Structure formats: C-alpha cells, structure tokens
Amino acid sequence: MIFVSDVREKIAKTCHVCVFLALAATLAPYGQSQNQPVSPAWTVQLDEIRNVARMIPGRRPLRINVLKFAESHRSKKFSVQGDPDEPSIQARTVFQIVYADGTVMIDSGMDEQVHRFFGRGTVEPYYPEAAKQVERALRNAKAILITHEHGDHVAGVIRSPFAEEVAPKTILTRAQVESLETNPQMPEIKITPAMASRYNVVDYDKYLPFGSGVVLIKAPGHTPGSQMVYVALESGREYLFIADTAWHMDGVRLIKGKAAPWIQEDEPALLAQLKWLNGLYGTEKNLFIVASHDDDEHKDLIAKGILGNGLE
C-alpha cells in the first residue's frame, strides 16, 4: 500500500479504515501548483468503482447513519426543473460510516450563523442539540470527508471551536480548497493558505480509494470541488452519496437539473452525472443512491433500516 502522507499514517495507526491509498493521487504541500487539464466529458463506471473499493484490505463498514441538524423550506420547483410550486423540505444533513473500529464522517454540518445565510432573510429550523451531536461525532471520528465546498457541508471543519482538532483528519480536495480561498460561497467560510495547510489536501484524477469499501469519485458540476462517496458494507449493501448533484431524488429519476436562480452550476457535467445515476437507479437494486437534502428519501431509508437515525 502507498500512504499519501505522514499525517495520514498517524491516522492509519489508530484505525485501519483510514488508510489512504494513492490512486492517481498525490498530497503535495499546499502551495505547490498543479495545472492539470480538465476533461470536458464526465464519465465513470460502477464496475471500476467496485474494483477500486477492493484495493484497500480490511473489514468493510458495518452500517451508515444520518442526522438532520437543520432544514430549509423551499418550493420544489427550485429543486427539480418543471416541478410544481409546492412546499418542500431540504434537509441539512451529515452521514456517518461506521466500521468495527471507528467512524468516518461524510460532511461536517454548520453553525447557526451559516445556516441563516441559506434562509435568505427567513428564519428556518435549526436544531442545536443535533448540531452538538454532529460536533461530537466530528471530534470522535477517525476521518472526515467533505463532498463539496458549500457552507452547509464544510463549515463544521472551518468554523468549529474545535477546528484545530478536526482539521488534521479532514480530507479536502485541491479544487475545494481553491474555491474556499478564492471564491467562497459566503465570507464566513473563506480560508487562507495558512488555514488550508491544516487539512489533508488531495488531488486525484477520477477515483480515490479511501478505506476498505470506500471510494471518492470526482464529480465537479454543482461546484468545482464536488465529489461523490461510494460505500460498500460488509453485508454487501452498497451506497452512493451524491451530495448536491440532485437536491431531490426526482432529479435523478427524471434526469432533470435544478431551477434555482441563486446557484451557478456546470449543467453539461451535471446532466452527464444525472444520466449515469438514473441508469444505476433503474438497474442496481442493491445500490442506494442518497441525495444529501432529500428529506423524504431519508425518512424512507430510515424506516426501511437502510440508514440509521442519529450518530454514534
């Protein structure tokens, strides 16, 4: 196995889930520049992802949990093009991958000040006790993965009073860091090069095996630093956490993007991603595609025992 950094080796000593194998990836000092051409066409293959998930030995995860710590109330017409103007809840969530010997967090939540940004002048539900659960889970986790560089996903590792503690076990991509430095979604999550040096910053081409059964998948579109997270459990059940590729699973089912005037996305890349996800949705019955903000989907998956409700 190839360890990407001495920092990661320290993490790996405490938990084999956090062995970071470099597959077309490097972890260079943050100041080092890499000008790699970006492919105009986004393509990935599930069989390739499954093969990458086998590259790191060890026990696979046992289960996955979800926790909602806030809500945004928006018309569904913004989440799915052509949908009616009807009420819809966007859940603000984190996910927790549970191994036999530790946990890995997917996304990091946000504080109430950042949450107010998303309300755009409207006071929306924020659950302080749930936010405290997120904070505890981040501190106890062996590693933290960030799906993309928007405030509701990344603020928890930037603005937390425990940021110095959680940063060394947080994985950011170079594209995420560049956005946070030069074009943050909001001033509250802007970081400096000195701040960036606290995190593990990775570059990879298409896939990055993270731990046994876990693969990061580069998926720029919603943001330049967006990525999906594939997880295969010890039981054989598979998950694909698609973050904000679609805000509602109807976007996947209907292959329709968003209609939110306040966001700017790479629409051709997102369309390619939605087409791929739609194909999986129709054929892979043991693979659960999870959108970060689809409150209805989360409730259904919790009721079926596919996701655990709450963090450990």
Three-state SS across the chain? CCECCHHHHHHHHHCHHHCCECCCEECCCCCCCCCCCCCCCCCCCHHHHHHHHCCCCCCCCCEEEEEEEEEEEEEHHHHCCCCCCCEEEEEEEEEEEEECCEEEEECCCCCHHHHHHHHCCCCCCECHHHHHHHHHHHHHCCEEECCCCCHHHHHHHCCCCCHHHHHHHEEEEHHHHHHHHHCCCCHHHCCCHHHHCCCEEEEECCEEEEECCEEEEECCCCCCCCEEEEEECCCCCEEEEEECCCCCHHHHHHCCCCCCCCCCCCHHHHHHHHHHHHHHHHHCCCEEEEECCEHHHHHHHHHCCCCEECCC
pTM: 0.90
What share of the chain has pLDDT > 70, as a percent? Answer: 87
Residues 193-210 pLDDT 10s: 999 999 999 999 999 999
Residues 130-177 pLDDT 10s: 999 999 999 999 999 999 999 999 999 999 999 999 999 999 999 999
For residue 38, is pLDDT > 50? no
Residues 219-276 pLDDT 10s: 999 999 999 999 999 999 999 999 999 999 999 999 999 999 999 999 999 999 999 9
pLDDT tier at 41 (50, 70, 90 boundaries)? confident
For residue 10, is pLDDT > 80? no
pLDDT tier at 40 (50, 70, 90 boundaries)? low
